[in-house]
Amino acid sequence: QQQVKQSPQSLIVQKGGISIINCAYENTAFDYFPWYQQFPGKGPALLIAIRPDVSEKKEGRFTISFNKSAKQFSLHIMDSQPGDSATYFCAASKGSNYQLIWGAGTKLIIKP
Amino acid sequence: DAGVIQSPRHEVTEMGQEVTLRCKPISGHNSLFWYRQTMMRGLELLIYFNNNVPIDDSGMPEDRFSAKMPNASFSTLKIQPSEPRDSAVYFCASSDRRFNYGYTFGSGTRLTVV
């Protein structure tokens, strides 16, 4: 019940296309869902996050869609650029527990 | 702020040697996390501290691993004795639970045990 399942493991998208990464969770107590972006040789960096009281959050070209009934959330990258090539992690946590449960990561490659 | 600072960036050591990894969290952050990242196992939480107190060390692989946080601005992760299977990138992250849940990660220490 503590798992967060992320797919796909890897993704290749043409420049200008839409990149979509999906995550699913089981624990309905989770109330915070962040996405992290990691470039080679760097630590993960918080990209965008959502709470279950909203169904969508947008920041620039990055959008999180959240489906509470399906226990799924996804990251959409619009107009994908080569600079978006990185590994993306979804995560979840519950209240004061605070410990993040991480997805396995998706390696995204944007082809010029 | 310089962010979370880890040292060294790279460490190559022989099996059986003691290894100490260091972390300086962001000033004012009250939570600190040690993670290990490998291709096979992804990101694994080893231990985390709140207000310098270890809260959960269930992720520490075995007794060879130990972590300390003697004050709010410094933490160490020690491996003694080191083994080749400990080779990984070790990340330290800090956060301020009072305001948001975002973690700030350091750039990591790439450990190679030969």
Whole-number Å distance between alpha carbons of B15 and B12: 10
| Confidence at residue A99, expressed as pLDDT on a 0 to 100 scale | 80
- A4 by Cβ neighbours in 10 Å (0-12 / 13-18 / 19+) ranks as buried
Residue B93: list chain A partners with CB under 8 A.
43
| A93–B106 CB contact, under 8 Å | no
pLDDT surpasses 60 at A96: no
| Confidence at residue B101, expressed as pLDDT on a 0 to 100 scale | 63
Whole-number Å distance between alpha carbons of B75 and B69: 4
| Confidence at residue A46, expressed as pLDDT on a 0 to 100 scale | 92
B106 touches A at CB < 8 Å: yes
| Confidence at residue B99, expressed as pLDDT on a 0 to 100 scale | 64
| Closest by CA position to B90, among listed B3, B2, B11, B1 | B11
pLDDT in tens, A42-84: 999 999 999 888 999 999 999 999 999 999 999 999 999 999 9
Quick one: what percent of chain A has pLDDT higher than 90? 81
Residue A95: list chain B partners with CB under 8 A.
none
One-letter amino acid at A100 equals L
Can you spell out the DSSP letters for B49-61?
Answer: EETTEEEE-TT--
Please report the residues numbered 54 through 93 in chain A whose beta carbons come closer than 8 angstroms to any beta carbon of chain B.
89, 93
Whole-number Å distance between alpha carbons of A85 and B81: 37
pLDDT tens series, chain B, 114 aa: 679 999 999 999 999 999 999 999 999 998 999 999 998 888 999 999 999 999 989 999 889 999 999 999 999 999 999 999 999 999 999 988 776 668 899 999 999 999
Pairing of strands A45-50, A33-38: antiparallel
> What's A9's DSSP letter?
S
One-letter amino acid at B27 equals S
pLDDT surpasses 70 at A1: no
A32 touches B at CB < 8 Å: yes
pLDDT surpasses 60 at A109: yes
Identify the residue among B101, B105, B107, B109 best suited for mutation to test binding to A, counting A beta carbons within 10 A and taking the highest: B101
Closest residue, chain A, to B59 (C-alpha): A99
pLDDT in tens, A26-37: 999 898 899 999
Please say whether the dihedral angle defined by the alpha carbons of residues A28, A29, A31 and A34, taken in this order, is positive or negative. negative
Q: What is the mean pLDDT of residues A3-25?
A: 97
Residue B101: list chain A partners with CB under 8 A.
32, 34, 49, 93, 98, 100
